Amino acid sequence: MLYQYHHQIIRVNFITELARVSKATNPHLANPKAWLF
């Protein structure tokens, strides 16, 4: 259970970082929800 929670945090951090990098390179991808689904 703790591992699953930790993995969830890592995934959220990764998505946030990916969104930040994507925003820096592609401003039209600024909304992470647009490419999460």
Under DSSP, the state recorded for 1 is -
Classified as helix, coil or strand, 30 is coil
Q: What is the predicted pLDDT for the residue at 32?
A: 61
Does some domain include residue 7? yes
Q: What is the predicted pLDDT for the residue at 30?
A: 56
Does some domain include residue 4? yes
Its domain, for residue 9, covers 1-31
- List Cα–Cα distances, 33 to 16, 19, 20, 30, in angstroms: 11, 9, 13, 9
Does some domain include residue 1? yes
Classified as helix, coil or strand, 37 is coil
Does some domain include residue 3? yes
Does some domain include residue 37? no
Mean pLDDT of the chain: 75
Name the pTM for this structure: 0.47
Q: What is the predicted pLDDT for the residue at 37?
A: 47
Classified as helix, coil or strand, 31 is coil
User: In which residue ranges of the chain is pLDDT below 50?
Assistant: 37
The contacts of residue 23 (CB under 8 Å, 6+ apart) are 29, 30
* Total of domains in the chain: 1
Does some domain include residue 13? yes
